[in-house]
Amino acid sequence: MSDTPIDRVAKATPPSVASKIRGLSDRAIAWLFVLPTIFLLLAVNIFPLIWTINLSFTNFRANRPNREVDYIGLRNYERILTDEDIWLTMQATAHFLFWTIFFQVLIGFTLAWLINRKFKGNDLWTTLIVLPMMLSPAVVGNFWTFLYQPQIGLFNYGISFLTGIDPSSFQMIGDVTLAPWSIVIVDTWMWTPFVMLICLAGLRSIPDYIYEAAEIDRASQWRQFWTITIPMVLPFLMLAVLFRGIENFKMFDLVVQLTGGGPGSITELTSINLKREAFEKWRTGYASAYAIILFVTVFGLASIYVKALNKVKER
Amino acid sequence: MSSYSITEPSSLQKWLAGTLVVAYAVITLLPLVWILTTGFKSPVDAIAYPPKILFEPSLEGYVNLFTTRTRVSPETLEALPPPVTWYEEVVRNRDMVIAGPSRYGERFLNSVIIGFGSTFLSVFLGTLAAYAFSRFKVPLKDDLLFFILSTRMMPPIAVAIPIFLMFRTLGLSDTHLGMILLYTAVNISLAVWLLKGFMDEIPREYEEAALIDGYTRFQAFYKVVLPQAATGIASTAIFCLIFSWNEYAFAVLLTSGTAQTAPPFIPTIIGVGGQDWPAVAAGATLFLVPVMVFTILLRKHLLRGITFGAVRK
């Protein structure tokens, strides 16, 4: 018999305890294994969620913990849903969501399709392309403010190199019309590889014989692309969109470092707006209601989407 | 001679596709190359127009990253004994003296402690839970698994409000323990989902044979299943580590000093008149390179990790 540390522990364990452990039924082991995780999630996720729901009906302010707390019913919810500034924030988020997903799907799918031409060294290049998405969004986002600087920034210089526009004539993050695009560009730069990887898995899952059969039927390349490639990759693509949608709805770190929500509040996405309310204005009750609304929105959208996704998969 | 295949792209197609992908890769890697090179530029070269591609390498960024400095008058500088170390000389050339170490080292160490601590905990708990979900009939299994995943959908700022209050009450604000527990709770959904996938792939027959040989469930678990799942556990651990390493929202809201990690700290590195870009780039380089290395090591399991195990190659 081998004598691993575990065996030694087993030998040193008093027989009564050992027999208790040995005697555990599978059912007991299952609970023993699952409960710590459930307990941790209850303590750090569910309990706070319930607390947030409770706070959302109050006028509590976390910077004045000793002040009396009043229950004000649904007034926080009412104020949020009728607040025009919050609708502007939602619009900024929608703009960000739509265009990041649009560009990431377009570029990501194209890249995956190109990589799937199986040229020499495609594995190496795929790995290199993937690098940006694994890095810390806050650290990278902060550095992008340097790349975006007029004149000395690499981005402005690159644009001027390609188009001949004076590099000091535009400010990506200081300009009201350009700032929303500046965050779309960085997010697209960072997350296109994510969509690409998922599309690549989709493309690689299509068996060759389907194309061979189509070839025998003399279907054109174009037709093969629309009737085989696209439908077969679609479930993968939708999964990628689901992930990016949820992630970007929660977007905080990258954008807060890039623009901080500015100029004005043009790029103030919901998470940044929420952070202002909760941790700068300290309207804790109000912010709690806001958080619940966001959570319900993302959860609702995600469930609808997952249902659609399952339908596509069934086909 | 290899057989002719109609699904194999022509060599012209391959060449074109390869060129386009390489062009994309070069453009997309430029910002990262820029971080790397800016770290070795002098402050003047870093903000030169047009941006400098060729420059004289300097370690000033790294020196500034690890030190705090004070400006002194030329007379005081004259009166000082000659610099002993090369980095003192670098600082003196700017009419300054080293006042002490910067906080970067501590913040980096915090990232290491919190990252490894939460990774260990989430992989440990995740392995147990994943094994149970994979092998036993757990009541409400699908609901529990969905519940575990759904915790990931909440915006971090929304969760941070009550966590902030809870930590304040329990005295966990700005502590390593608090951050480790928090990151464990965030990571555990990923750990359970990924590890369940890996364990589902291990044939049950191995354990069943072990059970027939007289092993208990526990023995079968740690002697048969764990060694088989080692690769899966290792890649799950790396994913958890990368998440904790990169996390910013919780870190910036719940830590301010003692337990602050590097991501909220690096953007605050300032010099004269704004951010000290060579020092920021130096700090970013040291912080990002480990993740790049891990990404390359992980490339086979990458897809699985980023999709919670939904897509397997």
Judged by a CB distance cut-off of 8 A, whether residue A218 touches chain B is no
Percent of chain B with pLDDT over 90: 50
Distance CA B71, CA B69 (A): 7
Average pLDDT over residues A148-161: 89
Check B248 against A136: CB less than 8 A apart.
yes
Residues A100-116 have pLDDT tens digits of: 999 999 999 999 999 99
Residue A274 has pLDDT above 50, yes or no: yes
Q: Are residues A94 and A213 in the same domain?
A: yes
CB contact under 8 A, A130 and B160: no
What does the pLDDT average to over A153-158?
A: 91
Domain of A115? 79-314
> Distance (Å, rounded) from C-alpha A80 to C-alpha A234?
37
Average pLDDT value for residue range A10-22: 55
Q: Which domain holds residue B79?
A: 59-102
Residues A121 and A269 in one domain: yes
A173 within some domain: yes
- Residue by residue, what is the 3-state secondary structure of chain B? CCCCCCCCCCHHHHHHHHHHHHHHHHHHHHHHHHHHHHCCCCHHHHCCCCCCCCCCCCCHHHHHHHEEEEECCHHHHHHCCCCCCHHHHHHHCCCEEEEEECCHHHHHHHHHHHHHHHHHHHHHHHHHHHHHHHHCCCCCHHHHHHHHHHCCCCCHHHHHHHHHHHHHHHCCCCCHHHHHHHHHHHHHHHHHHHHHHHHHCCCHHHHHHHHHCCCCHHHHHHHHHHHHCHHHHHHHHHHHHHHHHHCCHHHHHHCCCCCCCHHHHHHHCEECCEECHHHHHHHHHHHHHHHHHHHHHHCCCHHHHHCCCCCCC
Chain A interface includes B53 (CB < 8 A): no
Would you state the structure tokens that stand for residue B43, as one six-digit string? 């402050």
Together in a domain, B110 and B211:
yes
Task: Name chain A contacts of B137, Cβ cutoff 8 Å.
Answer: 30
CATH code at position A144: 1.10.3720.10
Tell whether B109 and B225 lie within a shared domain.
Answer: yes
Q: Lowest-pLDDT range, A154-158, A169-173, B93-97, B261-265? A: B93-97
What total of structural domains would you count in chain A? 2
Task: Give helix A47-55 / helix A284-314 axis angle, nearest 10°.
Answer: 130
Residues A49 and A183 in one domain: no
Beta strands B96-101 and B67-71: pairing type?
A: antiparallel
Q: What is the ipTM of this complex?
A: 0.90
- Within this chain, do residues A23 and A148 fall inside the same structural domain, yes or no? no
| DSSP-derived secondary structure letter, A217 | T
Q: Report if residue A71 sits inside a domain.
A: no
Model confidence over A30-81: pLDDT tens digits? 888 999 999 998 888 888 889 999 999 999 998 887 888 888 889 999 999 9
Question: Region B174-195: what's the mean pLDDT?
Answer: 93
Domain count, chain B: 2
Residue of B nearest to A185 (CA): B28
Q: Which two tokens stand for residue A3?
A: 């004598």
Q: Is the model more confident about B313 or about A127?
A: A127
- pLDDT value for B274: 79
Report the first-to-last Cα separation within chain A, whole angstroms.
54
* A58 strand-pairing partners: A71
Residues B202, B257, single domain; the answer is yes
Residue B312, domain member (yes or no): no
Chain B residues within an 8 Å CB radius of A135? 32, 246, 288, 291-292
List all residues of chain B from 71 to 130 with a beta carbon under 8 Å from chain A.
125-126, 128-129
pLDDT higher than threshold 50 for residue B1: no
Do both B239 and B198 map to the same domain?
yes
Q: For residues B251 and B140, state if they share a domain.
A: yes
**Nearest-CA neighbor of A191 among A258, A257, A107?**
A107
Q: Is A170 on the interface with B (CB under 8 A)?
A: no
Residue B292 is assigned to a structural domain of this protein: no
Stretch B284-303: mean pLDDT: 91
Q: Does B306 reach chain A within 8 Å, measured CB to CB? A: yes
Residue from the list A30, A114, A253 with its beta carbon closest to the beta carbon of B248: A253
Can you tell me which residue has the tokens 């700290």? Answer: B265
pLDDT at residue number B254: 92
* Residue A13, pLDDT score: 59
Contacts of A120 in chain B (CB under 8 A): 14, 18
Mean pLDDT computed over B91-112: 90
Q: Are A160 and A239 contained in the same domain?
A: yes
Least Cα distance to B269 among B254, B259, B279 occurs for B279
State the pTM of this model.
0.89
Q: Are B66 and B104 in contact (CB under 8 A)?
A: yes
Mean pLDDT of chain A: 88
**Among candidates A62, A239, A250 on the partner chain, residue whose Cβ is nearest the Cβ of B156:** A250
Residue A74 within any structural domain of the chain: no
User: Do B72 and B97 form a contact (C-beta atoms < 8 A)?
Assistant: yes
Q: What is the pLDDT of residue B54?
A: 86
For B7-60, the pLDDT digits (tens) are 678 888 899 999 999 999 999 999 999 999 999 998 888 888 788 888 889 999
Give the pLDDT confidence score for residue B172 in this predicted structure: 92
**CB–CB of B35/B266 below 8 Å?**
no
Claim to verify: residue A50 and residue A94 sit in the same structural domain: no
Does the beta-carbon distance from A139 to B159 stay under 8 Å?
A: no
Residues A48 and A94 in one domain: no
Same domain, B254 and B109: yes
> Which residue, B84, B102, B120, sits at the end of a domain?
B102
Residues near B120 by beta carbon (within 8 Å), at least 6 away in sequence: B237
Statement to judge: residues B71 and B190 lie in one domain: no
Q: How far apart are CA B223 and CA A99, in angstroms?
A: 50
For residue A291, the SS3 value is: helix
**Percentage of residues of chain B with pLDDT beyond 70:** 97
Q: What angle do CA A128, B243, B135 make, to 5 degrees?
A: 105
Residues contacting residue B30 through CB under 8 Å, at least 6 positions apart: A154, A158
* Residues β-bridged to residue B271: B274
Residues A244 and A294 in one domain: yes
pLDDT band at B3; cut points 50, 70, 90: very low
**Whether residues B65 and B136 fall in one domain:** no
On whether both A164 and A92 belong to a single domain, the answer is yes
Residue A234 is assigned to a structural domain of this protein: yes
A24 contacts chain B (CB < 8 A): yes
For residue B232, is it within any domain? yes
Q: Does A66 touch chain B (CB under 8 A)?
A: no
Q: Under a CB-based contact definition with an 8 Å cutoff, are residues B254 and B163 in contact?
A: yes
My answer on whether A239 and A306 are in the same domain is: yes
Q: Establish if B33 touches chain A: CB-CB under 8 angstroms.
A: no
Note whether A155 and A232 are same-domain residues: yes
How far is Cα B312 from Cα B307, in angstroms, rounded to an integer? Answer: 9
| Same-domain status, B96 and B135 | no
pLDDT (tens digit, 9 = 90+) per residue, B32-43?
A: 999 999 999 988
**Whole-number pLDDT of residue A103:** 98
Q: At what angle do helices A26-41 and B141-150 cross, to 10 degrees?
A: 20
Using alpha carbons only, what angle is made at residue B149 by residues B238 and A132, rounded to the nearest 5 degrees? 40
Q: What is the mean pLDDT of residues B241-251?
A: 94
Per residue in A279-310, pLDDT (tens digit) is: 999 999 999 999 999 889 888 888 888 788 77
| Residue contact A40–B155, C-beta within 8 A | no
Q: Is A218 inside a domain boundary?
A: yes
Residues B87 and B126 in one domain: no
Same domain, B92 and B175: no
Q: Is residue B298 part of a domain?
A: no
Q: At what angle do helices A179-204 and A137-147 cross, to 10 degrees?
A: 130
Whether residue A155 is found in the same domain as residue A246: yes
Q: Which residues of A touch B9 (CB under 8 A)?
A: 117-118
A69 occurs within a structural domain? no
Q: How many CB pairs under 8 A join A and B?
A: 295
- Phi/psi for B275 (5° steps) reads -70, 140
The pLDDT confidence band at residue A20, using thresholds 50, 70 and 90, is low
In this structure, are B63 and B136 located in the same domain? no
Is residue B214 in some structural domain? Answer: yes
Contact map slice: A 67-106 vs B, CB within 8 A: none
Residue A62: inside a domain, yes or no? no
Residues of B in contact with A249 (CB under 8 A): 155
Contact between B178 and B260 under an 8 Å Cβ cutoff? The reply is no
Is residue B219 one of the residues assigned to a domain? yes
Q: Is B276 left (phi over 0), alpha (psi -120 to 50) or beta?
A: beta
Interchain proximity B284–A257, CB inside 8 Å: no
Residue type, A242: L
- On the 0-12 / 13-18 / 19+ scale of CB atoms within 10 A, A113 is middle
- Per-residue pLDDT, A10: 58
CA dihedral B16, B22, B27, B32 (to 10 degrees): 170
Is B39 contained in some domain?
no
Contact present, A208 and A258 (Cβ < 8 Å) = no
- Quote the pLDDT of residue A136: 95
Last residue of a domain, one of B248, B268, B288: B268
- Grade residue A1 by pLDDT with cuts at 50, 70 and 90: very low
The CATH code of the domain that includes B217 is 1.10.3720.10
Instruction: Render pLDDT for A215-239 as a digit per residue (tens, 0 to 9).
Output: 888 888 899 999 999 999 998 999 8
Please compute the mean of the pLDDT values over residues A182-208 and round it to a whole number.
Answer: 94
**Is the confidence at residue A313, as pLDDT, over 90?**
no
